[in-house]
Amino acid sequence: MRLFGDMLVLFGLVHWPLWIISISGGQALSILLYSNSTIHINKTTILPIKCEVCIGKSCKSSMTLSKSMEVVFNCPQPEKAFMVEIVQHIVCASTCNGTIIAEDYPSLQNFNRTFTWNVKVQGHKSFGLDFTKAGLRQIQPTEQCQDKHIYTVSTATATVGKFCRQGTIKSMQVLREGIVSLQVPGKQQLNAANYGVSIGSQITSPAIINVTLPEEPSSQEFFSPNYPGSFPDDGLITWAFQVSNKVYSSVHILNYTEPICDTKDTRMEYQLHSKTFVKKLSEAQLSEHQGSFNLSLQNCNVDTQSSSTSLTLHFKISAIRRGSEVRCTVDLKREKALQILIMKKKPKSDCILKLNSLAQQTATITAEKISFVSFIDCKEEDLIITINKTIKCQQLRDCPSPGSLRVPSLEKCIMGVVQEVQWHLYGPQHGAVELLSSAGSLQQSVPGHTCNNTVLLTVSEYEPQGVTVGQFCPQGAIHKIQINVANITVSASPAGGKSLRRITDSLLQVSFIKSIKEHYIFTVLPKKDIPVLLATPAWPLGMKDYATVSWFVSFPAQLEANVSFPNVSQLTCKNRPAYIKLHRQRSQDKMYSWQDQNPKNVVLSESFYLNMSNCLPLKGGFSVVSQVTLHTGKSVLLSIILSVVSVVLLLIAITLAVFCIRRKKKQRAPEVAVYNPNGHSFLPGTNRIPQETEDEDFHIYNYIDDHMVYGHLLKDSVEMNEVGKPAVGVYRSFTGPIEQQPLTENGGCEEPEVGVYRPFIGHQRFSDMPDRPVTSEENLACKDKQKADEEIIGGDAIQQQETVPNIQKVVKTEEEQD
């Protein structure tokens, strides 16, 4: 029977059966060993009962079996007091291609069993363990596997860890020699998988654990060697993670302890493709990395004189599948002193920000080099961008004057909201900085009177205290700001959470100038009827000790300025008091001054400057808000009112005069004077001036001006036509002799009153009287009569030739004589 069993063992077909013999209540086991195997029967716990294992008459608490033999236990339940370890040795010389197979012993199935394989490679090479078929998953030392099969891998110096089946660990490499063991509890049927063993390449780490992450989201935990015990001094362990390019992995440290090092430092070293970077255990680790990488844990040389804790590490690696990646190349080779910071708004968001293939919470892009930025599953609002630019000038003659402050343009592929742009200005020592608005003017923003604009500018002194001069926005009354320091910071931020990327125009013009007398000088050009608020620097906290500030306020002469102080802080000074003064700009004479009292509202009729000076406060701070409002002056306003009233009265007088004249002319009867020096007399209403046609009526006048004479009614030998008729339709001034022959009712043939001028009164034309032209016979009769009268009078008649006005004067003289 024993010979047949040995034959079966040689062919590997069956196992030698267990023979149990009861001896005085004990058990006898007959064990047939496999080749290259050793069985260790060791007592595990101290039981109140006495139990030993015996070979022949020799009984011990432990026994090592190197060959097949029969053992006897002198207790009824030896599986409760003993455990069995089955050890197999594997030595690899030039080749080592084999398989680790756990072979169970049925006679030992009731015992807690440990299957151990001691693998050794000659030289400095490593051996590899292939777990591809089942895979392993690392667990904590106190944790149990679901199938109750626990694997342990150890090196010559430390225990790599404990593992369960069905994991992401696909293989391991162990330097020179190592131990692989499998623990199976009593009465548990062995269901072990086979693992391959091979000779590996030379490695520097005592062990390398190869992990393959799946393409779907996953999470795995890992522990340092000997966890929770101490990792060996100057020890090294490496995890090689194989990750698909579609998957992004992150490393999170869950728990760690660090010793006090004598030399070197504990560290986490990452190898990403051809790059290597080191992280401390206290720092944030690799995040959202695409593709494979290696992670090494390096211990230091621990200070043996101290009682510090040892190095332990518990970390987790998580992987997630991501969408498309947006890559951007940022070339800042030509830029100097420019820095771009891109930060994730929510650290736990799905957005992945990477700089030079490294996922980071904040990416810092520096000048004078090319950087590569990537965005994965990111939206514009997920990222915040801050831009810093430095402007330096050591000598005043070398400083650009003026320099323009504008938002630097970014590559379109850079995602994020530009939340702030900072300009750090470093001027010559003992110099000053002058700021002018590119839009023409600035408005100061104070609480309760904020700016309704797209951008807010904050001016601060570059000091450790960070004194804020004030906040300003475009379109106001402040034309210029002068600060008597060499270094300041100007920050631009968008209003309403918008982005500054769309602002392309210059925001400020900066110049480095010589030192000024005051700490701060503001040039203010207010507009009419628009209140201007002026707050002291560092409002509302208070100005610096002994600091001074002046506002130069200029406005046209016809306006007045109403200056009020709606907000004045209360403070207690140590030595001299703080003061507020108002001066004229031209004469610089002090107009108003207040010390230790609240200033009153004043009205100024010319340009002025407002000066304030702080003391050394013992309590409180010196902060003042003043308001300047321009309006029209009282004298100018009175002049305007009087002028307007005068013009209105003049217009009324002219209107009344015109109205009265027109009304008077309408009421009086029109007067008509007709002069006929040629003796063509006719009566008004019975005779009329000859007309060329029936329709022509332009020789009829309702009124004849005294200064005008109508020549077309007079006979002129030059204007007579061939038939002896006077030319009509021609207006000429009367230059002929004055006739004394008045008009008569009978055609001028009756004896008229001599020397009497009678104007023609009445209308020239009546509808009830027919028109009758004067005949040539009547004209000739009148001529003969006139000649006879002249001869009788003998020159008494006036022969002087005058115009119509002269005739009127002669007539008046004769009337006076009468």
Average pLDDT over residues 166-190: 91
Identify the weakest region by mean pLDDT among 330-339, 589-598, 615-624.
Answer: 589-598
Q: Name the more confident of 266 and 69.
A: 266
Is residue 567 predicted with pLDDT exceeding 50?
yes
Q: Which fold has domain 90-319?
A: Jelly Rolls (2.60.120)
**What is the reported pLDDT for 398?**
82
For 496-563, the DSSP string reads: GG--STT--S--EEEEEEE--SSSEEEEE---BT--EEEE-TTTTT-PPTT-EEEEEE---TTEEEEE
Q: Taking all residues of the chain, what is their mean pLDDT, rounded to a whole number?
A: 78
Residue type at 701? Y
- The tens digit of pLDDT for each residue in 439-491 reads 889 999 887 777 878 899 999 997 666 789 999 988 889 999 999 998 999 99
**What is the reported pLDDT for 98?**
73
Question: Rounded CA gap, 714 and 689, in Å?
Answer: 11
**What is the reported pLDDT for 271?**
92
Identify the weakest region by mean pLDDT among 618-622, 727-731, 808-812.
Answer: 808-812
- The tens digit of pLDDT for each residue in 116-155 reads 999 988 777 889 999 988 899 999 988 999 999 999 999 9
Average pLDDT over residues 698-727: 50
Average pLDDT over residues 42-71: 81
Q: Cβ contacts of residue 397 below 8 Å, gap of 6+? A: none
For the chain, the 3-state helix, strand and coil shares in percent, each to the nearest 5, are 10, 40, 50
- The tens digit of pLDDT for each residue in 411-424 reads 889 999 999 999 99
Strand segments (E) across 399-449? 403-405, 417-426, 431-437, 442-444
**Which of 18-22, 24-28, 179-183, 324-328 has maximum average pLDDT?**
179-183
Question: What does the domain layout of the chain look like in residue ranges?
Answer: 90-319, 669-818
Is residue 340 predicted with pLDDT exceeding 90?
yes
Reported confidence tier of residue 588, pLDDT bands at 50, 70, 90: low
For 778-818, the DSSP string reads: HHHHHHHHHHHHHHHHTS-S------HHHHHHHHHHHHHH-
**What is the reported pLDDT for 148?**
92
Reported confidence tier of residue 813, pLDDT bands at 50, 70, 90: very low
Q: Name the more confident of 5 and 259.
A: 259
- DSSP strand pairing (236-242 vs 207-212): parallel
Question: Rounded CA gap, 298 and 224, in Å?
Answer: 10
**What is the reported pLDDT for 465?**
66
Identify the weakest region by mean pLDDT among 342-356, 681-695, 795-809.
Answer: 795-809
Block residue for tokens 């046609």: 693
**What is the reported pLDDT for 721?**
47
Q: Name the more confident of 712 and 270.
A: 270
DSSP secondary structure code for residue 637 in this structure: H
Query: How many Cα atoms within 13 Å fall on the side-chain side of residue 690?
Result: 15
Which tokens in the block code for residue 699? 């020789």
Question: Rounded CA gap, 422 and 487, in Å?
Answer: 13
**What is the reported pLDDT for 763?**
44
pLDDT > 70 fraction of the chain, expressed in percent and rounded: 75
Q: Cβ contacts of residue 601 below 8 Å, gap of 6+? A: 562, 563, 564, 565
Reported confidence tier of residue 331, pLDDT bands at 50, 70, 90: very high
- The tens digit of pLDDT for each residue in 728-775 reads 555 555 555 554 444 444 444 444 455 555 554 444 443 444 444 444
Question: Rounded CA gap, 727 and 720, in Å?
Answer: 6
Question: Rounded CA gap, 390 and 74, in Å?
Answer: 89
Closest Cα partner for 149 from 100, 101, 98, 115? 115
**What is the reported pLDDT for 802?**
39
- The tens digit of pLDDT for each residue in 482-495 reads 999 989 999 999 87
Reported confidence tier of residue 637, pLDDT bands at 50, 70, 90: low
Average pLDDT over residues 346-375: 88
Identify the weakest region by mean pLDDT among 216-220, 461-465, 545-549, 589-593.
Answer: 461-465
Are 741 and 720 in contact by the 8 Å Cβ rule? The answer is no
Cα–Cα separations (whole angstroms), residue 635 to 575, 579, 632: 44, 32, 9
**What is the reported pLDDT for 614?**
93
Question: Rounded CA gap, 290 and 274, in Å?
Answer: 14
**What is the reported pLDDT for 798?**
38
- DSSP strand pairing (69-73 vs 53-55): antiparallel
